[in-house]
Amino acid sequence: MRIMIVTDAWFPQTNGVVRTLAQTAAWLGRFGHEVRTLTPRDFRSIACPTYPEIRLSLFPGRGVRDAIDSFAPQALHIATEGPLGLAARRHCSRRSMRFTTSYHTQFPQYLRARFPIPLEASYWAMRRFHSAGARCMVSTRTLRQDLAKRGFRNLAAWRRGVDTEMFRPRSKDFLDLPRPLAAYVGRVAIEKNIEAFLKMPWSGGKIVIGDGPERVRLQGQYPDVRFTGYRFQEDLARHLAAADIMVFPSRTDTFGLVNLEAMACGVPVAAYPVTGPIDVIDDGVTGALDEDLGRAAQRALTLDPEACRRHALQYGWDVITREFEANLVPCHSTGSECLPVLGERSAGAPVGSAADSRQSQPKLIFASRLVRESALVRASSSSIRPSRTRL
């Protein structure tokens, strides 16, 4: 099957959205599909203000149209709401092509943190964007409920996975810092609420693994905290595994992929009881949820690292990609481009219900052509590859 994924989020960005899409594309290729990713690397682009690693494609309409028409996808997924996503949505609507979308980022909250934009206006724009798709994939039950309350109606489940080969328990001696060591992993930006972690009372050491527009200010303001900048692949996994706990202070993430990566390393997570962590963390087993982040961190220290690892092993990328595959829809309801078989889900079945579980079981889809392009090729220097689950 020919599958096109259109995304404004791609390398060199370092975040959970990019890792999710790269692994998904790679695993789709392993399943025998022909995958084409349409990203800012295919267009002229400029750096996003305050986020230079984010590239915004310039006037991509014609290029998006030509790429879709030449590839003739049998299923098309629009992953982001940026210039490429908007151009792909417009083209599909004009051609009466069906497509799916996914809700990765709480843009209304992000915008509100920077500008006096009413949440209602931002959610109206997001709802309008995603309502054109046959399905909007969401990562957790809580997120689905929140969006449903805001008028989103075409929601389907697509969880997130973790590379349990790369993210695994390792030696704590890798970092020579005061113990117990609390780590933050992610963008150093205002919407991540990182200052809640930095201000949190803590008797040991703290480390910030990541970079972003707030790093210079915060590094000067908190000289006792180790700021490492971005870390990638094995280096990132070694840094994360060396921590005693990870603190996830964000209140606006839809999932928080790094939570699973920490658990896979045997590192318990402390977080607020909000959308994302509340669905990913088993309170008292793999982490601690509390409105007092310091109290959550102290509780997390007492938890069993092996329980964290066992939990993460349930989220292999092969299983998660089958969920994505089952959510796809044919671009055309009739004609030669129809998909042979696709998993269907009842519109009313909630995420995690017995009906949802039965109906979301992926059906094997046999493709007649080999992989033309996978995330392995597109992400050449990133060393992303299909992960395998390892104990």
Identify the bridge partners of residue 226 per DSSP, sorted by sequence position. Answer: 207
pLDDT at 362: 38
| pTM reported for the whole predicted model | 0.81
Q: What is the C-alpha separation between 195 and 262, in angstroms, rounded?
A: 20
Q: Between 257-264 and 233-241, two packed helices, what is the crossing angle to 10 degrees?
A: 70
Residue type, 148: A
Q: Which CATH number is correct for 2-161+316-382, 3.40.718.10, 3.40.50.2000, 3.40.50.720, 3.40.50.10470?
A: 3.40.50.2000
pLDDT at 311: 97
The residue extents of the domains of the chain are: 2-161+316-382, 172-312
Share of the chain above pLDDT 90, in %: 76
Among residues 81, 137, 143, the alpha carbon closest in space to that of 107 is found at: 81
pLDDT at 389: 36
Q: Which CATH number is correct for 172-312, 3.30.1330.10, 3.40.50.2000, 1.20.120.1200, 3.40.50.300?
A: 3.40.50.2000
| 141-155, 264-278, 322-336, range with the lowest pLDDT | 322-336
Neighbours of 278 (CB within 10 A): 16
pLDDT at 160: 96
Does position 372 have pLDDT exceeding 70, yes or no? Answer: no
Within this chain, domains 2-161+316-382 and 172-312 share the same CATH topology: yes
More confident residue, 108 or 305: 305
Q: Identify the band that residue 47 occupies on the pLDDT scale cut at 50, 70 and 90.
A: confident
Q: What is the mean pLDDT of residues 87-109?
A: 93
Residues 74, 365: contact at Cβ < 8 Å? no
216 — alpha (psi -120 to 50), left (phi > 0) or beta?
Answer: alpha
Q: What is the mean pLDDT of residues 34-60?
A: 91
